[in-house]
Amino acid sequence: MLKILDRYIIKTFFGPFFFIFSVLFFIFIVNIIWVQLGQFMGKGLSTFQILKLLFYLGVSVISMVLPLTILLASIMSFGEFGERYELAAMKAAGISLTRVMLPLLGVTVMMSVMLYFFSNNIIPDFQRKAKNMLFNIAQTKPALNFTPGQFIDQIPGYMVKFDKIGGENGENIEGVFIHKKASSYDNQQSIVAEKGKFVPAANKNYLKLILYNGYVYEDNFAGKAENVRMKQPDQAIKFDSLTSHFDVSEIINKAIEEERITDDYRFQTFNQLNKTIDQTKKDNNKFFTNVNNDVLGQTNSVITYMDSKQNKSKAKPKQLLKLDTLKKEKKLEIINNAYNRLENLKGTVDGKNNEIDPVVKYYGKVVIYQQRIVTYSFTCVIFFLIGSSLGSIIRKGGMGLPVIIAIVIFIIFYVINVGVENMAWSGKVNPYLAAWIPNLVLFPFGIWMTYKALTDSQLFDAEKYKAFFKPVTKLFVKNKEHTRYQ
């Protein structure tokens, strides 16, 4: 049963928590929009489809937003306790800082457990939906959006240009030019018309266009020899009215949410990733064995060749043959052949290294992704220890100094995170260790900060640091002598 004090502490914490979470989530979503904006443009996506995609992408950033939110909210809430002298009143009443931190620590642990299950069971499903939508959008041709006076190839198989576009819905056109795309062995066709009009077609997969006062320029080149094609005259057919249907099913039937990608490791849970990691290890071992055999085989070939040239002697087969005793032409031949074989060996090694890098990087990505399902949950607890301790020491609430300190801590965490991640991808650090290094670095700092808070340390007292550095600053400050006026 929660006491009144516990409810008050939790209520004070969740006030800034929800506000900060909303702001950070919006910032991350804006970043996603900025990165993905090019894929949305001109694809004819509805507002609902774009919002759905942003929601799918936004769910995956919660694992990063939640730890930072806990860090900021804990600094601000404990800073407000200190600024309003509520911490001092609690301590005067015999309530220790540990007791004050306890209810929020329990809340943080609960959110950490929820984040684990959320990252393990919900995020993979949304990752699958988001990636498939992005893939399908990338494969989708731009929606029909004609610009007057410009050649447009949005109608599949045709290049069109309209000099003027009018009407309430842009259905009236003037100065029409339509060219059918075809290879040099297909029939060529171009249509020129004075004006035209788009009208609804019975089948929505087709675009119906009625043209007036124009010509159809056509040739029958398909299947004819080159000499016949050169002699074939162009054919022009005049028309007063011409109705054309264009197949636009590739644009209409986008199938934006069709799931075509199903084998990405980011779609798997923690236990499923264990199987993927085991299979990746087996594949990697087999790959490395083949690489070693190829390189060793070619190396032995080079050594055998060089030994055969040195030991080649009719009189004394076992005597080493010195290059200085050979004729100039023979010497150059041996050296040139040996150089070419060594260059081939070097090229093979470089090629194998290029093949190894993607294999190592993929293994590191899978392992780090799996471990972060757990590590980010622990990051929430570590950030709470750091945030609550800093807030009680700084004793400043609001959006000023606490926000700056929290951002600095998060930047340090993010830099370490990205740095060890890149090292793991290159094979320089064990990926299991790389996923935990940020927590291993910040956890001792969190314990130290908690100790300083419990012992009422004046960690951010400016006067304390001035007194500490006073002997040094005196060396650079001249003493002011006062003269007595007479």
Question: In whole angstroms, what is the distance from residue 415 CA to residue 426 CA?
Answer: 17
Would the pLDDT of 208 be above 80? yes
Residue 107, C-beta contacts closer than 8 angstroms, at least 6 positions apart: 10, 13
Most confident of 10-19, 110-119, 339-348: 110-119
Neighbouring residues of 380: CB distance < 8 A, sequence distance ≥ 6:
66, 67, 70, 108, 111, 112, 115
What pLDDT does residue 478 have?
A: 61
pLDDT at 395 over 50: yes
Find all residues with CB under 8 Å of 184, minimum gap 6, and list them: 221
Cβ–Cβ < 8 Å for 157, 181: yes
Question: Rg for the chain (alpha carbons), in Å?
Answer: 37
More confident residue, 252 or 151: 151
Report pLDDT digits (tens) over 339-381: 776 777 677 666 666 677 788 888 888 999 999 999 999 999 9
- Residue with the bigger pLDDT between 153 and 97: it is 97
Q: Are 191 and 244 in contact (CB under 8 A)?
A: yes
Q: Is pLDDT of 72 > 60? A: yes
The residue ranking higher by pLDDT, 44 or 367, is 367
Q: Which two tokens stand for residue 439?
A: 């927590």
Average pLDDT over residues 7-25: 88
Question: Would you place residue 1 in the very low, low, confident or very high pLDDT band (cuts 50, 70, 90)?
Answer: very low
Domain residue extents for the chain = 4-140+374-468, 158-252, 266-368
* Chain mean pLDDT for the chain: 78
In the chain, the percentage of residues whose pLDDT exceeds 70 is: 70
* CA dist., res. 205 & res. 207, Å (int): 7
Q: How many other C-beta atoms can be found within 10 angstroms of the C-beta atom of residue 42?
A: 14
* pLDDT tens-digit series, residues 409-449: 888 998 999 899 888 888 888 899 999 999 999 999 989 88
- Strand boundaries in 220-259, DSSP class E: 235-247
Q: How much is the pTM?
A: 0.66
Lowest mean pLDDT segment, chosen from 66-70, 107-111, 158-162, 334-338: 334-338
- Written as one letter, the residue type at 298 is Q
232 backbone φψ class: left, alpha, beta (φ>0; ψ -120 to 50): beta
Query: Long-range CB contacts (< 8 A, 24+ apart) of 49-55?
Result: 49/133, 49/256, 52/133, 53/130, 53/133, 53/134, 53/137, 54/29
Res. 178: pLDDT tops 60:
yes
Q: How far apart are CA 406 and CA 233, in angstroms?
A: 78
Distance CA 464, CA 460 (A): 8
45, 60, 259 from 137: Cα distances, Å: 9, 19, 12
Beta bridge partners of 210: 197, 243
pLDDT confidence of 486, banded at 50, 70, 90?
A: very low
At 218, is the secondary structure helix, strand, or coil?
strand
pLDDT band at 477 (very low <50, low <70, confident <90, very high): low
The residue-averaged pLDDT of 269-289 equals: 85
Question: For residues 206 and 171, is the Cβ–Cβ distance under 8 A?
Answer: no
d(CA 254, CA 262): 19
Highest average pLDDT, of 130-144, 195-209, 299-313, comes from: 195-209
> According to the model, what pLDDT value does residue 323 have?
56
pLDDT of residue 86 exceeding 60: yes
The arithmetic mean of pLDDT across residues 133-158, rounded, is 72
Which range has the top average pLDDT, 90-99, 133-142, 177-186? 90-99
In this prediction, residues 115-129 reach a mean pLDDT of 90
